[in-house]
């Protein structure tokens, strides 16, 4: 084990208290339980002393009624007409839409996960895992009293206005088409969760190895260095890396108009 300064000992103790407190509390979500598709992932993270999850959603299709305020962006009194974590068929949406009296919007919301991390370095490792698995909008938050969170977020959504003041603005054929797109995104989202799970396992294995060899750790594991570069593990990670590169290129195709003064290399 490495020697720790008194302040890092304090920090560790405080983190353990937060974690115990968090995991002992009831699940306050509407659903009241962790989504099936991320149960294992959440368990793996919570079994690590340096992490605990504070919220998650595996991904879902939802239909929201936005009130009768017309084009208002910030909707008051919006309500949910439909929520599902499974593929969705046209008739479900048609039935739910009958209850809409405002501006109904169909959304696909991808996987999202919040993980509290013991130290910045732990968050960095998890951030690398997230980016490597295709969750490009992930980021770290460092809050008051050193609370360090990683948010895992995807770029991969769908948000489609369907009705205006209760009047349906699209055809049933369109809804059918749209749900095919949404279900496809749900499928892709599941694959990314799988990738995240696998990348995480490998990162944790590498951590375990470097922790059991503190000198190697000292040398190879400075703060502010991304894990993936430290231990490339080409044989293991190759197919995933290639997949991601393709994906990122595609995503970049979406963004050539962003004003890039320059993106620092190796960012």
Cβ atoms 192, 129 nearer than 8 A: no
165 Rama class: left (phi>0) / alpha (psi -120 to 50) / beta: left
Using the contact rule CB under 8 A, the part of the chain among 2-10, 88-96, 122-130, 204-212 near a copy of itself is: 122-130
Which of 145, 215, 234, 239 touches a copy of itself by CB under 8 A? 145
For a copy of itself, the closer CB: 6 or 257: 257
Is the CB of residue 33 less than 8 Å from the CB of residue 27? yes
CB of 96 to a copy of itself, least distance (A): 15
- Looking at the DSSP bridge assignments, the partners of residue 109 are 60
Check residue 93 for interaction with a copy of itself (CB under 8 A).
Answer: no
Q: How far is CA 20 from CA 42, 145, 257, in A?
A: 15, 17, 46
Residue 77 gets the label, from left (phi > 0), alpha (psi -120 to 50) or beta, of: left
Q: Name the one range near a copy of itself by CB under 8 A: 89-97, 195-203, 211-219, 251-259.
A: 251-259
| Closer of 22 and 211 to a copy of itself (Cβ) | 22
Rounded alpha-carbon distances, angstroms, from residue 8 to 5, 72, 120, 122, 149: 5, 48, 12, 13, 17
Site size for a copy of itself (CB under 8 A) = 93
Between 198 and 251, CB nearer to a copy of itself: 251
Cβ atoms 210, 216 nearer than 8 A: yes
Among 44, 68, 160, 240, binds a copy of itself (CB under 8 A): 160
Q: Compute the C-alpha angle 59/65/71, nearest 5°.
A: 110
Instruction: Give backbone dihedrals phi and psi of 63, rounded to 5 degrees, phi first.
Output: -120, 120
Kindly state the smallest distance separating residue 28's Cβ from a copy of itself, in Å: 5
Q: Give the phi and the psi of residue 160 in degrees, each rounded to 5.
A: -130, 110
Q: How far apart are CA 27 and CA 54, in angstroms?
A: 10
Closer to a copy of itself by CB, 235 or 261: give it: 261
Q: Please, what is the minimum distance in Å from the beta carbon of residue 170 to a copy of itself?
A: 6
Shortest distance (Å) from residue 55 CB to a copy of itself: 4
Q: Indicate the residue among 235 and 262 with the shorter CB distance to a copy of itself.
A: 262
Rounded (10°) angle between helices 172-212 and 234-253: 140
Shortest distance in whole angstroms from residue 43 CB to a copy of itself = 12
Residues 7-66 that bind a copy of itself (CB under 8 A): 18, 21-23, 25, 27-31, 33-35, 52-57, 60, 62, 64
Q: Of the two residues 153 and 206, which places its CB atom closer to a copy of itself in the complex?
A: 153
CB nearer to a copy of itself: pick between 213 and 226: 226
142 binds a copy of itself (CB under 8 A): yes
């Amino acid at each position: 084990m490495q020697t720790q300064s008194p302040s890092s000992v304090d920090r560790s103790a405080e983190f353990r208290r937060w974690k115990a407190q968090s995991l002992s509390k009831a699940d306050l979500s509407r659903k009241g339980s962790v989504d099936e598709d991320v149960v294992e992932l959440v368990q793996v993270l919570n079994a690590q002393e340096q992490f605990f999850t504070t919220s998650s959603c595996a991904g879902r299709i939802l239909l929201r009624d936005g009130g009768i305020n017309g084009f208002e962006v910030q909707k008051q009194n919006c309500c949910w007409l439909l929520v599902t974590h499974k593929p969705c068929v046209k008739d479900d949406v048609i039935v739910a839409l009958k209850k809409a009296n405002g501006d109904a919007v169909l959304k696909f919301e991808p996987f999202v996960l919040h993980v509290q991390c013991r130290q910045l370095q732990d968050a960095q490792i998890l951030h690398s895992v997230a980016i490597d698995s295709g969750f490009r909008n992930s980021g770290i938050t460092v809050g008051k009293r050193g609370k360090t969170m990683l948010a895992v977020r995807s770029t991969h959504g769908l948000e489609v206005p369907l009705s205006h003041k209760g009047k349906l603005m699209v055809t049933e054929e369109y809804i059918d088409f749209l749900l095919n797109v949404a279900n496809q995104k749900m499928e892709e989202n599941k694959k990314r969760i799988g990738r995240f799970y696998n990348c995480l396992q490998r990162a944790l294995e590498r951590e375990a190895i470097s922790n059991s060899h503190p000198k190697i750790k000292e040398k190879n594991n400075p703060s502010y260095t991304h894990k993936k570069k430290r231990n490339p593990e080409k044989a293991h990670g190759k197919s995933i890396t290639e997949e991601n590169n393709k994906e990122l290129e595609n995503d970049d195709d979406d963004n050539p108009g962003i004003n890039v003064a320059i993106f620092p290399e190796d960012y």
